[in-house]
């Protein structure tokens, strides 16, 4: 049995062994040491460490020969080996990998990246020890070759994020493939593989292309920004980095990533239940070109901006004042608004306030275009939800690249917020409650659990049962019971997030799947639903004695409680039965019991 926290160092140099041991013990690894290959292999056979760090140049049998012997042993072959050498030749890395090594480090050891490399190999070979956060934090990967820049960026980000670091492009790619961060802050100017190449590789990989990337650089040239946007970067920030702007951009992109993932999951799940003809009918009609609204009081500036956008497949409406623009967006949907802050009848901030009040424009992307590099105005624009900020005179290629990127972003948000609310079909919907049905619920839950495990995100499942429902059905009739189920389903739907999924599990049972949520927040959702049902005024002919409808609820979590669909449902059901035994009208989990405050 492999010992998950043990690392074996096979190294004949005492000073090097001491350095490696000290670094490993700082992270609470259990360290074993050997000065030659023979003693090292004996320790491996006896102790079964989680990782082997082995010098290539050893007395007697060298490290490459020892690695080959270990990999030829059926009992030991799964233990990862990282080759370490002080005399790196051009083909040494290839030799090490050919002889069975899983990784390669050169001396002197880079203290900054050494522990990350070790942890990565231990995690890779031992998924049961993968760190799970009960309190979910979005993971941000910072890739920069200058440790001072990494430290500076870490200081600008709040504690609600988990930070991962890499100090070159190759290490950044490896960290991305192992950790699947939620967002990447990437320096452009790095030795070897620069930020453009890293971005291109990640955006061309189906497994990583949806991870948002913010390119960060000291370069001022517009060509550099355009190149970054064209290789797929989602944002581009110039040094020195403003803290408020960085935090706003990070939060916006993380929110978009969550929406996009839910869109993909629901699209894939629904396709599995639709015949090709039925799915084709639910596809969006794209007869109309996206709408761009340009609000600019300077006729010359408006003409220049229109010339920059000439040839793009968009409709463009131009307004010289805020009042006419407000009247237009109150009636029509805009995909992008290009907004001058200095308007003759109102400032741009007042227009933004009016725009956000229109429900059909809640996802409209706003680009502020101004002739003044006013830091305060820029921050205020970001706080009010603008999506970009450009200085006059605008560069033709930059505004075209940014416009195309924002059109794609708008499409993602629209598809999530609108399409799936209106295009549900009978194959996946419970006709009585208009929630998702049992079959679709299980299909969706299976996909979410797999993604939860892959990305190390917590997932909650709430099972709900209407108390005393059989008794009510037997005395009041099934039509009255149906009305209770319909209204209960509406209450459930109104009290969850748009990324959550509510379903009728069967009979008087409901289920809620909550992705990206920790225990505290999941319990808050369950309590909100329970209280809303208990407080709801059901029809006069439909009340339960004593004149109210209540529900019992059980909550379980993946991966802490279960790693499969059936096991997670079983655990949530167990807590639901416990809630019934506790007197009903309450919420139970494996670690928590929440009795109704109004329960008598």
Encoding tokens for residue 566? 């059936």
Closest of 341, 592, 301, 595 to residue 460, by C-alpha? 592
User: In 143-183, which residue ranges form alpha helices assigned H by DSSP?
Assistant: 147-156, 169-179
- The DSSP string of 537-599 is ---TT-PPTTT---EEEEEEEETTT-SSHHHHHHHHHHHHHHHHHTTSSEEE-SS-EEE-TT-
- Chain CA centroid to CA 252, Å: 12
Q: Are 506 and 565 a contacting pair, CB within 8 Å?
A: no
Q: Which positions ≥6 away from 266 have C-beta within 8 Å?
A: 416, 420, 444
Closest of 34, 9, 30 to residue 20, by C-alpha? 9
- The residue with tokens 């993946």 is 558
Encoding tokens for residue 393? 């005179």
d(C-alpha 212, C-alpha 229), whole Å: 12
* 508 is an active site residue: yes
Closest of 338, 346, 347 to residue 377, by C-alpha? 347
Using CA atoms in the order 585, 587, 592, 597, what is the torsion angle rounded to 10 degrees? Answer: -50
| From 508, 541, 566, 567, the catalytic residue | 508
Q: Are 33 and 17 a contacting pair, CB within 8 Å?
A: yes
d(C-alpha 194, C-alpha 595), whole Å: 56
Q: Are 274 and 427 a contacting pair, CB within 8 Å?
A: yes
d(C-alpha 565, C-alpha 518), whole Å: 18
**Which residues are catalytic, by number?**
508
């Amino acid at each position: 049995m492999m010992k998950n926290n043990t690392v074996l160092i096979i190294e004949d140099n005492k000073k090097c062994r001491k350095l490696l041991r000290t670094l490993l013990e700082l992270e609470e690894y259990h360290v074993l040491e050997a000065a030659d290959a023979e003693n090292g292999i004996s320790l491996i056979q006896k102790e079964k460490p989680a990782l082997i760090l082995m010098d290539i140049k050893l007395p007697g049998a060298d490290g490459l020969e020892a690695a080959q012997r270990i990999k030829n042993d059926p009992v030991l072959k799964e233990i990862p080996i990282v080759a370490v050498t002080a005399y790196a030749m051009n083909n040494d890395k290839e030799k090490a990998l050919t002889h069975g090594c899983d990784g390669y480090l050169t001396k002197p050891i880079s203290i900054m990246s050494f522990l990350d490399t070790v942890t990565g190999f231990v995690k890779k070979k031992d998924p049961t020890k993968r760190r799970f956060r009960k309190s979910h934090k979005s993971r941000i990967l910072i890739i920069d070759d200058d440790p001072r820049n990494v430290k500076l960026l870490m200081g600008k980000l709040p504690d609600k994020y988990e930070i991962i670091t890499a100090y070159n492009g190759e290490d950044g790619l490896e960290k991305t493939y192992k950790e699947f961060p939620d967002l990447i802050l990437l320096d452009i100017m790095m030795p070897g593989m620069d930020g453009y190449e890293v971005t291109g590789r990640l955006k061309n990989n189906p497994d990583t292309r949806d991870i948002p990337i913010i390119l960060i650089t000291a370069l001022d040239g517009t060509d550099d920004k355009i190149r970054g946007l064209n290789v797929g970067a989602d944002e581009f920030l110039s040094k020195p980095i403003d803290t408020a702007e960085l935090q706003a951009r990070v939060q916006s992109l993380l929110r978009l990533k969550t929406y996009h993932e839910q869109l993909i999951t629901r699209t894939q799940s629904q396709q599995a239940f639709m015949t090709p003809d039925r799915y084709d009918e639910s596809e969006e009609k794209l007869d109309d070109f996206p709408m761009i609204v340009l609000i600019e009081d300077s006729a010359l500036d408006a003409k220049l901006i229109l010339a920059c956008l000439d040839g793009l497949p968009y409709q463009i409406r131009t307004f010289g004042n805020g009042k006419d623009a407000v009247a237009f967006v109150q009636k029509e949907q805009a995909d992008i608004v290009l907004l001058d802050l200095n308007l003759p009848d109102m400032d741009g901030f007042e227009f933004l306030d009016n725009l956000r009040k229109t429900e059909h424009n809640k996802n409209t992307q706003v680009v502020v275009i101004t002739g003044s590099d006013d830091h305060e105005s820029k921050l205020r624009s970001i706080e009010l939800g603008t999506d970009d900020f450009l200085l006059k005179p605008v560069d033709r290629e930059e505004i075209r690249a940014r416009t195309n990127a924002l059109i794609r972003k708008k499409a993602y948000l629209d598809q999530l917020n609108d399409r799936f609310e209106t295009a549900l079909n009978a194959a996946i919907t419970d006709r009585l409650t208009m929630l998702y049905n049992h079959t679709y619920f299980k299909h969706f839950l299976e996909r979410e659990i797999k993604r939860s495990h892959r990305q190390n995100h917590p997932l909650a499942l709430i099972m709900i049962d209407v108390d005393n429902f059989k008794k009510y059905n037997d005395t009041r009739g099934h039509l009255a019971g149906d009305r209770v189920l319909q209204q209960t389903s509406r209450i459930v739907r109104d009290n969850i997030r748009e990324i959550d999924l509510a379903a009728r599990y069967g009979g008087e049972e409901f289920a809620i799947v909550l992705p990206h949520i920790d225990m505290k927040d999941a319990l808050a959702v369950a309590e909100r639903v329970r209280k809303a049902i208990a407080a709801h005024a059901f029809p006069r002919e439909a009340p339960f004695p004593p004149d109210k409808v209540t529900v019992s609820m059980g909550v379980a979590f993946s991966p802490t409680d279960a790693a499969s669909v059936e096991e997670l449902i079983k655990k949530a059901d167990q807590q639901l039965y416990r809630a019934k035994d506790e007197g009903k009208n309450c919420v139970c989990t494996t670690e928590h019991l929440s009795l109704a405050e109004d329960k008598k």
